[in-house]
Structure 1
Amino acid sequence: MSSSRAPTDNACSPSGRVRQELAIRVPSPPPARLTNWLAEHTGLSHERIKDALAKGAVWHAPVGRRAERVRRVTRRLASGDVVSLYYDSEVLACKPPSPRLITSEHHYSVWEKPPGLLMEGSRFGDHATVERLVAQLTGRPVWLPHRLDRDAGGLILVAHTRDGAARLSALFRERIISKQYHAEVSGHPAAGIAAARVADTGERVIDSPLDDKPSRTRFHVLTHDAARDASVLRVAIETGRYHQIRRHLAGIGHPILGDPIHGGRPDPRGLRLRATALSFVDPWDGGERRYELAGLD
């Protein structure tokens, strides 16, 4: 068992940060009540243990099986099982913004993810995530066929059946789904940028490898504000590397505003990247599907 306490450095936590990680093997006979047993081992109050359970920070591994989140205080334990707690008061105190439903189909739904909302959880919890919130809002199972950066907002697809997860994941994997974004960058990406060649469509193309893998980003300058020395771009990606748009635009000297990780200057509005359109052929009925949002405010 290990634990640590540190001062808060995150607005999610209203007071001093408390962090504990531990894994305990269930004795014989097993405890009658999970919350009482964890409270005895951690010194945390029953209310904090219940909160950790509800928000996905407690895991149960029955003998010979993989660990899974446990949320119910009445979960039955057996001798030899392992219960793990990953308690972080900052994580558990976060109040996530809610995603907005765009459309709901049998196999999937389309949502607008607000900036600041994670796609999926960690061992420390999952309450502040698309995965958990959509499950709670719809009462349906959730699979995530693709990802959108935490600090970015915009359109996402969520699958609700195993078939939906498989087919939508295949669309992304085989690059036959079109994704469009708007990004606001420093400067004016204009003629003369050697790293962004001009395609037949008039778009500029960045095809420098990322993580030793082929990567391609296309963009078109929509507007330029000379007074602020900033431009709004329409961006499309043909591959899905980690932080691809952010890294590619930073690589040609035009980082996205609000992206200090990749050299962007601070912006009070946060990361200026928004997923504005998704289009694909429905794998069940063959119909064309296109979903759009307005660009950046």
Structure 2
Amino acid sequence: MLKTKKIGQQFTIDIPKQWETRTIESLFKDHWKAPKKLVHELRMDKSVLVNGQEANWTSPLHLGDTLSIPFFKPEVSTVQPTYLDIAILYEDDHLLIANKPAGIDTHPNSEEDDHSLLNGVAFHLQSKGELYYIKHIHRLDRDTTGAVIFAKHRMAGAILDRLLEERKIKRTYMALVEGKLKNSSGTISDPIGRDRHHPTRRRVSPTGQTAVTHYNVHVYEAKKDTSLISCQLDTGRTHQIRVHLSSIGHPLIGDILYGSSVKLSRQALHAYKVEFTHPFTEEKILCKAPFTDSPSIFPDINI
């Protein structure tokens, strides 16, 4: 874990031995793989410092040098803060993880929408006096609960986006499905496309986008003729888990849109766990989200 801290608008980091002889240029380009536009803005601003002095971007860094980068500049947010009593599972200077309840969207879908998870997170940050950029890194369906990652500055947003694209952010979902699956684990790799007969529904389609879902079956006897499974995704298509499980004859309990015969307040799907290496501290982050409406959806589950 690297030695870092926030001082005003600056992110400071003590250069470790493994970064010795690296340049600031190579740190941004090769280590963080930061977007060229953001790096260019930092260079032009001349506010990146080494040991309190304007940095030379091509000179080698040395063990014990203190690098300062202005990640935390306040900026006007277009997100309306709304108090929604959101549970924050993890937070530091760069990112936070919130536990999304059922019945709200991850982000606003119109200018009038001010009751999304993003609005609730914006209120949380405003209440702490943090008037910064805020961005969701991934999303959950309106009636899916669980962990959602948010970036608290632009560099964190760009790097977390890349980690997600490179599958370096591991997300585990828990689902209750109809019927007993024959195999204890498996992979569904059927492409997913829009259903031309329904405005929001998706379907398995040979002309759709690549979609890969891995699943494992857990011991579960609370309800007959149901299976408790965990899922991990190689891709992030809309309704991917719901479509894939329905396509093999095991729709999610309560998922009427995809063929469930059981009526519940929502489909039984929960984003239970996220795991990744923190891009700035190199700490291993493992965050679990409690079930928000158990036992009504996930009864007698202890995992």
Q: TM-score range by the shorter chain?
A: 0.5 to 0.7
CA distance in 1, matches of 2:225, 2:79: 51
Which of 253, 273, 284 aligns to 2:280? It is: 284
Matches within 5 A, 1:205-220: 205-211=187-193, 212-220=208-216
Deviation at 1:70, TM superposition (A): 10
Matches within 5 A, 1:61-80: none
1:240 aligns with 2:236: yes
CA distance in 1, matches of 2:187, 2:116: 33
Counterpart for residue 105 of structure 1: 92
**Unaligned regions of 5+ residues in structure 1, if any?**
1-67, 72-94, 192-201
CA distance in 2, matches of 1:238, 1:70: 30
What is the RMSD computed on CA atoms of the aligned residues? 2.3
Note closer, same or farther for the CA distance 1:148–1:113 as it changes in structure 2 (3 Å cut): same
Q: How many residues align?
A: 197
Deviation at 1:250, TM superposition (A): 0.4
Deviation at 1:96, TM superposition (A): 8.7
Paired-residue identity, %: 27
So what's the TM-score if we normalise by structure 1?
0.61
C-alpha contact (below 8 Å) 1:96/1:117 kept by paired residues: no
C-alpha contact (below 8 Å) 1:177/1:280 kept by paired residues: yes
C-alpha contact (below 8 Å) 2:95/2:156 kept by paired residues: yes
Deviation at 1:223, TM superposition (A): 3.2
Q: Counterpart of 1:222 in structure 2: which amino acid?
A: H
Counterpart for residue 151 of structure 1: 143
Counterpart for residue 117 of structure 2: 130
CA distance in 2, matches of 1:204, 1:246: 15
CA distance in 2, matches of 1:262, 1:96: 33
Which of 162, 177, 180 aligns to 2:172? It is: 180
Runs of 4 or more above 3 Å deviation: 68-71, 95-98, 223-228, 294-297
Note closer, same or farther for the CA distance 1:226–1:165 as it changes in structure 2 (3 Å cut): closer
C-alpha contact (below 8 Å) 1:178/1:280 kept by paired residues: yes
C-alpha contact (below 8 Å) 2:79/2:122 kept by paired residues: no
CA distance in 2, matches of 1:220, 1:273: 14
Q: Counterpart of 2:134 in structure 1: which amino acid?
A: V
Deviation at 1:172, TM superposition (A): 1.1
Tell me whether 118-127 or 104-113 shows the greater mean CA deviation: 118-127
Deviation at 1:189, TM superposition (A): 1.1
Note closer, same or farther for the CA distance 1:225–1:70 as it changes in structure 2 (3 Å cut): closer
CA distance in 2, matches of 1:130, 1:175: 23
Counterpart for residue 185 of structure 2: 203
Per-residue displacement from partner, 1:159-210 (whole Å, max 9, x unpaired)? 110111111111111211100010000001114xxxxxxxxxx631111112
CA distance in 2, matches of 1:70, 1:258: 32
Deviation at 1:99, TM superposition (A): 2.1
Deviation at 1:293, TM superposition (A): 2.8
Counterpart for residue 229 of structure 1: 225
Which of 250, 255, 280 aligns to 1:254? It is: 250
C-alpha contact (below 8 Å) 1:257/1:264 kept by paired residues: yes
Counterpart for residue 266 of structure 1: 262
Per-residue displacement from partner, 1:25-79 (whole Å, max 9, x unpaired)? xxxxxxxxxxxxxxxxxxxxxxxxxxxxxxxxxxxxxxxxxxx9698xxxxxxxx
Deviation at 1:294, TM superposition (A): 4.2
Per-residue displacement from partner, 1:229-263 (whole Å, max 9, x unpaired)? 11111111111111100000001000001111111
Counterpart for residue 108 of structure 2: 121
Note closer, same or farther for the CA distance 1:280–1:101 as it changes in structure 2 (3 Å cut): same
| Secondary structure, aligned partner of 2:235 | coil
Q: Counterpart of 1:229 in structure 2: which amino acid?
A: D
CA distance in 2, matches of 1:96, 1:184: 31
Deviation at 1:97, TM superposition (A): 5.4
So what's the TM-score if we normalise by structure 2?
0.60
CA distance in 2, matches of 1:268, 1:275: 18
Note closer, same or farther for the CA distance 1:268–1:96 as it changes in structure 2 (3 Å cut): farther
CA distance in 2, matches of 1:70, 1:156: 17
